[in-house]
Structure formats: C-alpha cells, structure tokens
Amino acid sequence: MVGVFLIFYGAVLTMSSTFTLHISQAKNTDPAEVCALRIIRSNFTDPMGNLKSWDNGDPCTSNWTGVFCATSNDEYLHIEQLQLLNYNLSGVLAPELGLLSQLKIMDFMWNAISGTIPKEIGNITSLRLLLLSGNKLSGSLPDEIGNLPRLNRLQIDENHISGPIPKSFANLRNISHLHMNNNSLSGQIPYELFTLPVLLHLLVDNNNLSGLLPPELGSLPNLRILQLDNNNFSGSSIPASYSNMTTLVKLSLRNCNLHGIIPDLSRMPQLGYLDLSWNMLNGSIPSNLAIYITTIDLSHNFLNGTITSTFNGLHRLQQVSLQNNQLVGSVPSSIWQSRAFNPNDTLILNFQNNSLTNITAADCPSNVTVLLFGNPLCINASQLNIVHLCQPKSVNQTSEGPTTYQNTCPPCPVDEHYERNPLSMSCQCSLPLTVGFRLKSPGISDFPPYMKDFESHLTSLLHLLSHQLYIESYMWESGPRLNMSLKLFPNSSSLFNSSEVVRLAGTLASWDIHISDVYGPYELLSLSRGPRESDSSKSRLSKGALAGILLGAIVGAASLSVMLTVLIMRKHPRYYSISRKKSSVTTLKLNNVKCFTFEEMVLATRNFCKSTQVGQGGYGKVYKGTLDDGRLVAIKRALEGTLQGSKEFLTEIEFLSRLHHRNLVSLVGYCDEQNEQMLVYEFMCNGTLRDHLSEKRNESLSFSKRLHIALGSARGILYLHCEADPPVFHRDIKASNILLDSKFHAKVADFGISRLAPVPDKDGSIPGYVSTVVKGTPGYLDPEYILTHQLTDKSDVYSLGVVFLELLTGMRPISHGKNIVREQLVQFSTKGIGCGYLWRQRQAYC
C-alpha cells in the first residue's frame, strides 16, 4: 500500500507545492459562498458519498471535491469553478447557486438532478460556462439566464426542459454555443436570436419547437452549425435568407415538417454536411454545393428533376442519400468517375425508390456502394449489368472495435492495469487516461478516413504527440453523434504526472480548445485513468479526474499521501526505510488482494445498512457483506479522517497481503476511495473468541474446542514469529482479535499496529527487540515491554498467555480492577497447574 503511494511520490511532490501555496495565503472562502455551498449540497442526494469532502473544513483551502477557487484582491477566496461532472448526484439545484457571485464554470453534467433551473443563476454575471447536460431537469428556462453577459456556453441538452426559448437570450452577447437538444422546448424559435454576434453552434434538435423558421436567423454573422432536427415547423419553408449564412458548416433540418423548395446553397463555401431528409420539400436538388461537403441527405422528400452533374468533383463526399424522392433520368457515373479516392475512403450513393431509368456506366469501384432498388431501371437490371446494385438494402453506419496491433512485447503486469500504447514502438507499459468523448454534431458520416486527421488535430490542441492518442473504439449513435473511447498515453514514462492529468482534464472540461468544425462540438462523457477503476493508485486519480477533473480531489488524495508518507517517515525513520523496501515487493504481490470500488462496497453491504453491521471497534464499524460472486466477507470501515486509522490501514494491507497461514485471517481486498478506507476479510461466522467467552453466550465452548482454539492461535503466532520472513510482532494479541470460523478454527486478526521484527545490523547481529512506544491493549501488555519499551516476540507470547487464561476461566483480563494474571496464576499454582507454565512458555521459543 505504501508502495502504491510511492508510485505517486514524484507526482505528489509537485502537488504538494501547489497545496502549500494554497495554504500559505491563509485566506478562507467567502463565508456567504461557504454557506451557499452547504445549502447546495444539502439539496443533493449523494448516494456514493462523492461530496464527503464537503463535510469538513473550508471549500477552497480544504480542497472540496469539484470546487476550484480563484485568488482575489479582497480578504476572501472565491469559488470560480464548480465541476461536478458524472457524480451520481440527484436532488435539485438550490437557488443559493446564485450566491456564488464569482463563478465562471458551473458543471453538473451527467448526473440525475431534477427540478427546475433556478432563476438565481441569472445573478452570476461572471458565469462563462453553464453545463447542465444529461440530467432530469424540468420546468422552463428562466428569462434571467439572458442576463449573463459573459456566458459563452449554455448546455442543457438531454433534460426534460419545456416551455419556450426565452427572448432574453438575445442579450447573450458572448454566447457561442447554445446546446439545447433533446428536451421538450416548445413555441417558436425567437427571431431575436439573430442579434447574437458570436453564436457558432445552435443545437435545438429533438424538441417540440413549432411555428415558422425565423428568416432573421439568416443574418447571424458567424453561425457554423444549425441543427434543428425532429421539431415540427409545420408549414414553414426554409427561408431564402438562409442562403446568406455563408459561414455554415453544417445544416441539419431533418424531420422538421418543412415544405417548399431548397434555397440556394451555393454561397456556403464551407458547407460540409447537409441533412434535409424526412420533410416535404419539392423542387430540384441544390447545385453548386461546397467542394468540402461530405454528406448530403435529402432522402424522404418530394424532390424531382434529375441527378445531373451536381455531385461531380466533390472529393470528400462520403454519403449521398436521395432515396424516396421522385428523381428521374440517369444515374450519373461521373460522381465516382470524376473522383480520386484515398485508401480509406468510401462512398455510399443511396438512390433507392426513385424514378431513375438508366445508368451511364455500371463499373463502380469496390469502395463505392450504389443502391438502386425501387427504380424503373432495375427492371432491366440484367441488361444493364446492375443486378447487384438493385438488391434492397439499408445502409447501417458501422462501428468499429479496437484495431489490434502486432506486438512482440511481454505482457504488462495484470494487476496494475498498465497497458502498452498500441501506437508506440516501445514495450513501455503505462497507465493511460481514458476519455469518453462524443462528437455531438459531426460534419462527417464515415470516420476512418478522418481518424488520422482527428488524432493529430486533437493531440496538437492538447499539446501531446500524435502517437499519444489512441482511439480505442467508436460508435455511431442516433443524431448522428459519434461516441468514442479515447486513450491518452504518457509519452515515454509509465504515468502522466499529476500536473499533466490536471492540465489535460482541465483543458477538456473547460472547453479551452476549439476543435475543428469538421468534427463539430464535442462533449466530455467521462474521464478516468485506466480501463477499470479497481487499482487503488489509479482510482484515486481516476475519481479525481473523472469528476471532471477534480483538481480538488487529486490534490486532496495526493496531499493526504504526502502527509502520510512524510508523517510516517518522520516518525519511524529506520523502520520506514525497511518496510518501504518491503512494500514495493508487496505491491507486486498484491495480486491476491483485490482493490474494491466504493460502489462495490455499497452494494455488498446494502449501503452500510444497519442490519449488516456485525461489530464496532475503535477503528470503525464492521459489516457483513456479500460480494457479487456470492462470497461472504467482513468489511471493516475506518472512521473517517482518522490519520491513525489510515496508518493502520496501510500496515494491515501491507502485512496481510504478505502473510498467509490457515490460522491468520485472510484479507480479500481493500477499498481506498472517496476518503473511505475499508478492509475486506473472509467472513468468520463465529465471530471473536471474546464473544464466546462472555457470559452472554448461552452455549459455552467445550473444553476440546477451547484447546483447539488455543492451539490454532498459537500456530498463527508461531508462524508470524518463526516462519514469516522477516518475522512480524503482532503487538495486539487479545481474545477479540482471535476470530473463529464455522468449524471454530482460530484465526488471528488485526495487524493494524504490528511491526516487523528487527533486521540484522551491519555486523550481522540481530538486536532481538524493537524500541518503540508502548501500544496494545491493557491487560494483555507484557510488563517487561511496558517497562523497557522494547518489543520482542515474547511480548506477543505473554499476551497469548493471557488469552489462554481467559480460555480457561472465561474471565476478562481486567475485571473489577483486578488483573487476571495476578489473580488466576496464584490460583492455578495452588491447584498444581503450575505457575511456571506461562513463564516457561515465554522463555523457550522458536
């Protein structure tokens, strides 16, 4: 475990400087904002405890998850970003959000927040990014949002928002991105929007908008993408003024109930994507389309006339869909004959269900698919030699799995989730950042020809080398949108350092980069480190990063480990250097100990339900859990924020992952996430030995069982002292640390304060004891250890002797102020059992 921290040591040093810098300002967050945050939080349901860090301290200086602050000139720190992407939050948005008066980024995307958008958000005049996509928000858009003079990006897509688009939005002088698709917005698109000087992307597809398409939008000076699919502008035609949108890159008005003719599109030199399908348009196919166009979908209309030479010389064309119209004449083979193809290029020409009667030449190359089913010329298919083109066929967009590469490198260590960068020549194993990335309104319809370009485009924007980005897979979704899983690999090291993680995550989450309009706007779905979040080192960072980049969480985790490492090293310089070396070995061996996610723990214990609690100690509570494979386990959940607990947590994992014996309890795994530390053990259904010795128990243990238990515990300790290498001093042997399984086999538990036995000195002699502060449980403590502070194996044996006395008498080691050793040994000696027994046992050993 310590080793896990050490992996991040370098990173940690970087972070700690930022961290101290933060502290040294000695300012706190504006009390009004702190208060607002607390109310905001209290309005959320946070089943995963993602906002636990909000329980304590100050938002800015204690690194609350998702809270980022700005330095300021006044006496307080102010909250500048609230980034809570993908945190499983439900509940509602509190009006107190409006009190975060210096907020620039508000990001609640991909949660399950319901209720309405509070109008008070309109008070945050500094707000630049308002990101609410992917929630369950309802109600209407407050007019007050229009008061935000700096708002650059409004994303409310994929919610249940209804009502009209407020006219006040015309005041958003700095808005570039209005993404409001997949809601229930109704009414007319307000013509007032035409005044928005820097509007680039207007996405309002999949709503209930109606009325006429406002001609005024034709004078939007900078509009690049206009996507209004799946609305009902019944009776409207496409205003002629839209011919004047000379900056358009994408025009998508699919299924909008539009009538009339298609206006002149010849003055749009950058138009790359045209979708006017599923309307009632008539007239002819537009001519003089931009030479960059990739996709033309005019299917399911009433278009007539011929497919003349309109599409000749369009070298980027990927798809022409003209099916289900009333087109006549010949299929012009010049479309593909006039075109130079690159190796990855494909072209789909879907002309099905028209009135086409001839084809100029039937010789199309293999990367061109021509579909002619349902045209009169298919009657003469065999004559024209086009039988294969006349089969009924639908064209499905394909998605692709990962490309596999030849690789002669040895496999990477399985337990660490390290991978090789498939694009790199080297055998370096590294931990990539996985990014869920979706193009919301791409200007292409076939990805492979653009993959290389996309990779180099995105990597240059992110200041990475092009081989550092690997597109693991992609999938077309309805929209169409292009959903990709990206992996960012460190260049030549095995890990990105934390400042790189923060930089990359921050860049992606704050839309600091502007990707080319060919790809349209992107959205960030997730961001995590490694393929699964079950490696502890990774999950620390991944959660941080996931959250959209929770500098806070990262710094929090990192600073915790700094504090721990520093504290531990300072406290025990000599022993730490030893166990550090050990623990890096341990880290490699950790493969039989699983790292669980917090979620898995929640599931196993039914959210730490009281009925699953089976014990409680100074360390925290113990729950009985069921893993998803059906295994019963005991889950020990550390009390929050106890550094003592944290240290014991590490020690326990370190020892138990290394020690295996049938009389030692076995560690199944651990969970170290979200400020929670849990240890997962095999479940011991008969509880602790102490339980069975108390008078409460009806059924008392038989003598043979007691003997069996005594032997078992002694074997466990013998193993620790004589077989483990290096030997271990348990330091806390007591009846409540001896657990009993279903057959009453004894297993020694709780290595939280255990210590390694001393290692040989330079001259080869072994000191035989460890000088240390006295720890353990009163009543079990070896008097010699108390006096000399020298811990030896014999101290454990003494404690075990006390346990034996308990076994024999059923008494507690100290009861009513009397010590069992003093009281009982006298009795035993008088009864002839021999006081020397314990003593002899303590002398001859190993």
Nearer to ligand NAG, 164 or 221 (CB): 221
Half-sphere exposure of 322 (CA within 13 A, CB side): 26
Q: How far apart are CA 345 and CA 600, in angstroms?
A: 45
Q: How far apart are CA 793 and CA 790, in angstroms?
A: 10
In this structure, what DSSP letter does residue 391 have?
S
Query: Longest C-alpha distance within the chain, in Å?
Result: 119
- List Cβ neighbours of 574 (8 Å cut-off, separation of 6 or more): none
The answer to whether 309 contacts ligand NAG (rule: CB under 6 A) is no
Q: How far apart are CA 752 and CA 77, in angstroms?
A: 39
**Which listed range, 21-29, 80-88, 240-248, 399-407, lies at the site for ligand NAG (CB under 6 A)?**
240-248
- 72, 126, 241, 666: which one binds ligand NAG (CB under 6 A): 241
Total residues in contact with ligand NAG, by rule CB under 6 A: 18
Per-residue binding letters, 12-51, with ligand NAG (x by CB under 6 A): --x-------------------------------------
User: In the complex, what is the shortest distance from the CB of residue 569 to ligand NAG, in angstroms, rounded to a whole number?
Assistant: 21
Nearer to ligand NAG, 61 or 330 (CB): 330
- Could you tell me which of 345, 328, 344 has the C-alpha nearest to residue 336? 345
Which residue of the set 275, 732, 782, 793 is catalytic? 732
- 61, 497, 642, 809: which one binds ligand NAG (CB under 6 A): 497
Residue 30 annotated as catalytic: no
User: In the complex, what is the shortest distance from the CB of residue 581 to ligand NAG, in angstroms, rounded to a whole number?
Assistant: 24
Nearer to ligand NAG, 326 or 478 (CB): 478
**Which listed range, 414-422, 494-502, 742-750, 793-801, lies at the site for ligand NAG (CB under 6 A)?**
494-502
User: In the complex, what is the shortest distance from the CB of residue 193 to ligand NAG, in angstroms, rounded to a whole number?
Assistant: 17
The answer to whether 230 contacts ligand NAG (rule: CB under 6 A) is yes
Place of tokens 């205003």: 239
Nearer to ligand NAG, 450 or 476 (CB): 476
User: In the complex, what is the shortest distance from the CB of residue 575 to ligand NAG, in angstroms, rounded to a whole number?
Assistant: 29
**Residue 429: beta bridge partners?**
420
The answer to whether 114 contacts ligand NAG (rule: CB under 6 A) is no
Q: Taking the alpha carbons of 317, 323, 328, 332 in that order, is the dihedral positive or negative?
A: positive
- List Cβ neighbours of 775 (8 Å cut-off, separation of 6 or more): 731, 732, 753
The answer to whether 478 contacts ligand NAG (rule: CB under 6 A) is yes
Measure Cα distances from 827 to 493, 526, 823 in Å. 68, 69, 7
**Which listed range, 85-93, 320-328, 386-394, 497-505, lies at the site for ligand NAG (CB under 6 A)?**
497-505
Nearer to ligand NAG, 18 or 367 (CB): 18
User: In the complex, what is the shortest distance from the CB of residue 243 to ligand NAG, in angstroms, rounded to a whole number?
Assistant: 5
Residue numbers 511-570 binding ligand NAG by CB under 6 A? none
- 118, 214, 218, 776: which one binds ligand NAG (CB under 6 A): 218
User: In the complex, what is the shortest distance from the CB of residue 47 to ligand NAG, in angstroms, rounded to a whole number?
Assistant: 23
Name the region of 207 (left: φ>0; alpha: ψ -120 to 50; beta: rest).
Answer: beta
- List Cβ neighbours of 822 (8 Å cut-off, separation of 6 or more): none
Nearer to ligand NAG, 241 or 613 (CB): 241
Per-residue binding letters, 64-83, with ligand NAG (x by CB under 6 A): --------------------
Name the region of 441 (left: φ>0; alpha: ψ -120 to 50; beta: rest).
Answer: beta
Place of tokens 């950042």: 433
Nearer to ligand NAG, 124 or 525 (CB): 525
Q: How far apart are CA 666 and CA 647, in angstroms?
A: 19
Residue numbers 422-451 binding ligand NAG by CB under 6 A? none
- List Cβ neighbours of 335 (8 Å cut-off, separation of 6 or more): 311, 312, 317, 320, 347, 349
- Please return the burial class of 29, using the count of CB atoms within 10 Å of its CB with bins 0-12, 13-18 and 19+: buried
DSSP codes, 185-210? EEEPPPGGGGG-TT--EEE--SSEE-
User: In the complex, what is the shortest distance from the CB of residue 48 to ligand NAG, in angstroms, rounded to a whole number?
Assistant: 23
User: In the complex, what is the shortest distance from the CB of residue 721 to ligand NAG, in angstroms, rounded to a whole number?
Assistant: 44
Q: How far apart are CA 50 and CA 48, in angstroms?
A: 5
Residue numbers 328-347 binding ligand NAG by CB under 6 A? 330
User: In the complex, what is the shortest distance from the CB of residue 473 to ligand NAG, in angstroms, rounded to a whole number?
Assistant: 18
Q: How far apart are CA 221 and CA 207, in angstroms?
A: 25
Q: Taking the alpha carbons of 164, 168, 170, 173 in that order, is the dihedral positive or negative?
A: negative
Nearer to ligand NAG, 158 or 455 (CB): 158
The answer to whether 379 contacts ligand NAG (rule: CB under 6 A) is no
The answer to whether 663 contacts ligand NAG (rule: CB under 6 A) is no
**Which listed range, 274-282, 495-503, 614-622, 804-812, lies at the site for ligand NAG (CB under 6 A)?**
495-503
The answer to whether 244 contacts ligand NAG (rule: CB under 6 A) is yes
**Which listed range, 394-402, 493-501, 653-661, 702-710, lies at the site for ligand NAG (CB under 6 A)?**
493-501
User: In the complex, what is the shortest distance from the CB of residue 263 to ligand NAG, in angstroms, rounded to a whole number?
Assistant: 7
Nearer to ligand NAG, 215 or 687 (CB): 215
The answer to whether 158 contacts ligand NAG (rule: CB under 6 A) is yes
> Taking the CA atoms of the chain, what radius of gyration do you get in angstroms?
35
The answer to whether 500 contacts ligand NAG (rule: CB under 6 A) is yes
- 360, 398, 591, 843: which one binds ligand NAG (CB under 6 A): 360
- 162, 304, 308, 358: which one binds ligand NAG (CB under 6 A): 358
Residue 353 tokens read as 């269900």
Measure Cα distances from 703 to 180, 690, 741, 807, 811 in Å. 75, 15, 17, 9, 15
Nearer to ligand NAG, 363 or 723 (CB): 363
Judge whether 167 and 190 are in contact, CB under 8 Å.
Answer: yes
- List Cβ neighbours of 633 (8 Å cut-off, separation of 6 or more): 604, 624, 625, 626, 627, 668, 680, 681, 682, 683
- Could you tell me which of 434, 435, 450, 464 has the C-alpha nearest to residue 520? 450
**Which listed range, 491-499, 572-580, 599-607, 617-625, lies at the site for ligand NAG (CB under 6 A)?**
491-499
User: In the complex, what is the shortest distance from the CB of residue 360 to ligand NAG, in angstroms, rounded to a whole number?
Assistant: 5
Q: How far apart are CA 54 and CA 493, in angstroms?
A: 34
User: In the complex, what is the shortest distance from the CB of residue 674 to ligand NAG, in angstroms, rounded to a whole number?
Assistant: 26
Nearer to ligand NAG, 127 or 501 (CB): 501
Nearer to ligand NAG, 59 or 432 (CB): 432
The answer to whether 777 contacts ligand NAG (rule: CB under 6 A) is no
- 171, 182, 713, 754: which one binds ligand NAG (CB under 6 A): 182
Judge whether 434 and 531 are in contact, CB under 8 Å.
Answer: yes
Query: In this structure, how many other beta carbons lie within 10 angstroms of the beta carbon of residue 75?
Result: 8
Residue 109 tokens read as 């995307």
Judge whether 28 and 77 are in contact, CB under 8 Å.
Answer: yes
Nearer to ligand NAG, 89 or 377 (CB): 377
User: In the complex, what is the shortest distance from the CB of residue 463 to ligand NAG, in angstroms, rounded to a whole number?
Assistant: 9
**Which listed range, 43-51, 235-243, 424-432, 579-587, lies at the site for ligand NAG (CB under 6 A)?**
235-243
The answer to whether 183 contacts ligand NAG (rule: CB under 6 A) is no
Query: In this structure, how many other beta carbons lie within 10 angstroms of the beta carbon of residue 11?
Result: 22
Active site residues per annotation: 732
**Which residues of the shown chain bind ligand NAG in the complex (CB under 6 A)?**
14, 158, 182, 206, 218, 230, 240-241, 243-244, 330, 358, 360, 478, 491, 497, 499-500
